[in-house]
């Protein structure tokens, strides 16, 4: 038994683990045409890599010593009797290779290194991708920039490779079996397009600087022709021309129908000098056009997807038509706004458009602030809230109201409370209030019209003193907190030039309010008794009046707008104090 353990230990000592985690399962295929100057060096470099088990040079009808020097360097040489083209050489090498991962290297490289091969093959060996294509430091090729990229951007916009015509690539055999190799220079771009259509993952890897022979002008011309032919043929085969042309036509026609619907509805609701019938005809025509082309669009896209559909197909669809799709989305939202305004009640179909209101307001700290408000839905009061109106804070901001203000309706004051947390745009009114305001359940009111609903309604505001007296004596604090004040004003439908007013009682600031004074007399009461009055058009910077030992002072500034109009003496006091 001890001798068996010893043998096992000796065998393990002779086994050399691969420190890079790679096993010898890579084939190298080198297509070559008259490359006697560089082929021997390339073969020697790749054969020296630990994980390379097979090196195949495909001699594509060379008339120099390419085959001899490749064989001398230790490669397996397969020769074509005539020059069949780069793609044919790649296909021949692939068919004669035996391993699971194959790397393809051009035969004219001058500075090939182990690190470059490692960069090409490593992502495939580690399972990160199905195929790698290379990019390297060089001036962008004329065929790449003037031919390949423009066509790819047009027909295959989801493909974003910097050097789609690079000749160095690697792939799994299972992936490469799905590729149809073109016979000529179209092979490199064809690999990318077939991989894209079959849903294979392609990774572009940087291999640094590469030096190789420059192609002649004639070769570049042939390359451009063959690359163009390959892209166009694949575009037809994979439905990209239909996706661009036919599908594009259906999309545009569908959106034309949506535009007609929008135009028709716009005429019906907003253009009074054009007959409503004309708008209806346009809207109906738009509906018919939209339905017809949307059906054709769905059928065509489904047909194309069934043939060669994958996630790349949809990416291409979106990228091809992105601007038009965004325009269509806008049209759909516009039409849905009109559709959302449809209501059916008592056998009657009605359209009532109510939109949100965007308000841009001046702010002393931030310059301008924006606020989107409404629309608001009318609902009934909650149980046991017969004297309470619930409003969103946006309504209060529009009306210059505050919570705990009271509105007089039918000679009765209703207290204003905040809405419940889950009812952002709901206004709740007792039935008497709804009837007085001319509102019905489920009515929708825009923020721009809310002031009209409450126009000239009397509001009573309880003024709260939140200021600490200048002296910190307990007596002053008690006296100040015992003061109660009420302000009375009417709600107006428009923002008017108003006066800001600081209210002092016995030299203590009670509150800062704002409202509109007109050419009328305004009265001040204390403990229910008339104290004094003044003319609203003859205001100075301040107003002072006395009642016994008490001083009432108002400081005025004219730099504000408000929908509050203070009531005149004919309707009662605009300020009333109680101590």
**What are the structure tokens assigned to 421, written together?**
């947390």
C-alpha angle with apex 279: 273 to 282, nearest 5 degrees?
145
β-pairing, 458-463 with 406-409? antiparallel
pLDDT tens digits, 74-85: 999 999 999 999
Q: How many DSSP H helices and E strands does the chain contain? A: 19, 25
List the structure tokens of 131: 């195929």
Write down the pLDDT at residue 22: 44
Question: What is the distance between the alpha carbons of residues 356 and 425, in angstroms, rounded to a whole number?
Answer: 11
Instruction: Give the orientation angle of helix 276-308 with respect to helix 246-270, to 10 degrees.
Output: 160
CATH topology of domain 24-237: Spore Coat Polysaccharide Biosynthesis Protein SpsA; Chain A (3.90.550)
| One fold for 24-237 and 357-446 | no
Find, among 249, 248, 255, the residue nearest to 321 by Cα: 248
Q: Give the CA dihedral 218, 219, 225, 231, nearest 10 degrees.
A: -160
Angle between helices 276-308 and 311-320 (to 10 degrees): 140
- Report how far residue 146's alpha carbon sits from residue 108's, in angstroms, rounded to the nearest whole number: 24
pLDDT at 239: 82
**Strand 412-418 with 508-515, pairing:** unpaired
Contact 112, 42 (CB under 8 A): yes
Q: Is 447 exposed, middle or buried (0-12, 13-18, 19+ CB in 10 A)?
A: buried
- Residue 471: predicted pLDDT: 45
Taking only Cα atoms into account, the Rg of the chain, rounded to an integer number of angstroms, comes to 42
Question: Looking at residue 14, what is its pLDDT?
Answer: 44
Exposed / middle / buried, residue 529 (Cβ in 10 Å: 0-12, 13-18, 19+): exposed
E strands of 76-176, at which residues?
76-80, 101-104, 131-137, 169-172
pLDDT at 235: 85
Does a cis peptide bond (omega within 30 degrees of 0) precede residue 184?
A: no
pLDDT of residue 407: 96
Q: Exposed/middle/buried for 122, CB within 10 Å: 0-12, 13-18, 19+?
A: middle
Q: Which pTM value belongs to this model?
A: 0.56
Three-state DSSP class for residue 100? coil
pLDDT in the model for residue 447: 85
Counting Cβ atoms within 10 Å, is residue 89 exposed (0-12), middle (13-18) or buried (19+)?
buried
Cα 459 from Cα 565, distance rounded (Å)? 10
Cα distance between residue 286 and residue 284, in whole Å = 5
Any idea what DSSP says for residue 447? G
Instruction: Tell how strand 26-32 and strand 76-80 pair up.
Output: unpaired
Q: Mark out the alpha helices in 157-275 (DSSP H runs).
A: 173-176, 187-197, 217-237, 240-244, 246-270
Q: What is the SS3 assignment for 222?
A: helix
The answer to whether domain 357-446 has CATH 2.40.40.20 is yes
> What residues of the chain score a pLDDT lower than 50?
3, 6, 9-23, 468, 470-478
Angstrom distances, CA of residue 142 to CA of 209, 355, 486, 515: 18, 55, 83, 74
Measured in whole angstroms, the distance separating CA 362 from the mean position of its chain's CA atoms is 29
Within 8 A by CB and 6+ apart from 539, the residues are 499, 517, 556
3-state secondary structure of 170: strand
Domain ranges of the chain: 24-237, 243-345, 357-446, 458-578
Strand 484-505 relative to strand 550-566, pairing: antiparallel
DSSP classification of residue 571? G
Q: Phi then psi for 483, rounded to 5 degrees?
A: -80, 130
What's the length of the chain?
A: 579
């Amino acid at each position: 038994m001890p001798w068996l353990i010893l043998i096992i230990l000796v065998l393990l000592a002779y086994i050399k683990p691969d420190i890079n985690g790679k096993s010898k399962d890579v084939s190298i295929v080198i297509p070559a045409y008259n490359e006697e100057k560089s082929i021997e060096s390339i073969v020697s470099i790749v054969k020296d890599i630990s994980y390379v088990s097979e090196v195949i040079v495909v001699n594509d009808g060379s008339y120099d010593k390419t085959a001899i020097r490749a064989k001398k360097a230790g490669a397996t040489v397969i020769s074509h009797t005539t020059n069949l083209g780069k793609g044919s050489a790649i296909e021949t090498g692939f068919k004669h290779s035996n391993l699971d991962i194959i790397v393809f290297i051009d035969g004219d490289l001058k500075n090939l290194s182990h690190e470059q091969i490692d960069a090409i093959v490593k992502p495939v060996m580690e399972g990160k991708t199905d195929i790698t294509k290379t990019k390297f430091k060089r001036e962008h090729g004329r065929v790449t920039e003037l031919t390949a990229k423009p066509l790819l951007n047009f027909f295959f916009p989801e493909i974003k490779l910097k050097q789609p015509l690079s000749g160095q690539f690697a792939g799994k055999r299972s992936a490469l079996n799905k590729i149809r190799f073109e016979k000529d220079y179209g092979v490199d771009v064809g690999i990318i397009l077939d991989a894209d259509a079959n849903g294979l993952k392609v990774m572009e890897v940087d291999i640094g600087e590469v030096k190789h022979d420059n192609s002649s002008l004639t070769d570049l011309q042939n390359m451009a022709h063959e690359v163009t032919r390959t892209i166009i043929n694949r575009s037809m085969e994979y439905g990209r021309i239909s996706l661009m042309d036919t599908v594009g036509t259906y999309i545009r026609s569908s959106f034309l129908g949506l535009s007609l619907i929008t135009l028709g509805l716009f005429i019906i609701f907003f253009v009074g000098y054009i007959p409503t019938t004309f708008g209806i005809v346009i809207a109906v025509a738009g509906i018919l056009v939209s339905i017809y082309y949307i059906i054709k669009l769905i059928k065509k896209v489904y047909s194309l997807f069934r043939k060669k559909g994958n996630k790349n197909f949809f990416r291409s669809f979106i990228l091809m038509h992105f601007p038009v799709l965004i325009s269509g989305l806008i049209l759909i939202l516009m039409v849905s706004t009109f559709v959302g305004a449809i209501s059916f009640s008592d056998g009657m179909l009605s359209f009532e458009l109510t939109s949100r209101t965007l308000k841009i307001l001046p702010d002393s700290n931030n310059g301008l602030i924006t606020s989107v408000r409404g629309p608001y839905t009318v609902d009934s009061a909650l149980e046991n809230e017969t004297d309470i109106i619930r409003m969103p804070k946006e309504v209060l901001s529009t009306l210059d109201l505050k919570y705990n203000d009271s509105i007089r309706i039918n000679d009765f004051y209703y207290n204003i409370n905040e809405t419940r947390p889950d009812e952002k745009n709901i206004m709740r009114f007792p039935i008497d209030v709804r009837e007085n305001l001319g509102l019905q359940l489920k009515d929708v009111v825009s923020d721009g019209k809310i002031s009209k609903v409450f126009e000239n309604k009397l509001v009573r505001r309880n003024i709260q003193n939140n200021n600490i007296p200048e002296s910190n004596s307990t007596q002053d604090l008690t006296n100040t907190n015992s003061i109660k004040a009420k302000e009375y004003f009417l709600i107006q439908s428009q923002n008017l030039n108003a006066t800001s007013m600081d209210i002092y009682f016995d030299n203590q600031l009670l509150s800062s309010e704002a409202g509109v004074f007109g050419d009328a007399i305004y009265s001040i009461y204390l403990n229910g008794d008339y104290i004094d009055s003044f003319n609203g058009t003859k205001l100075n910077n301040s107003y002072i009046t006395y009642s016994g030992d008490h001083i009432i002072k108002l400081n005025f500034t004219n730099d504000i707008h408000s929908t509050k109009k203070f009531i005149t003496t004919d309707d009662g006091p605009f300020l009333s104090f109680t101590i």
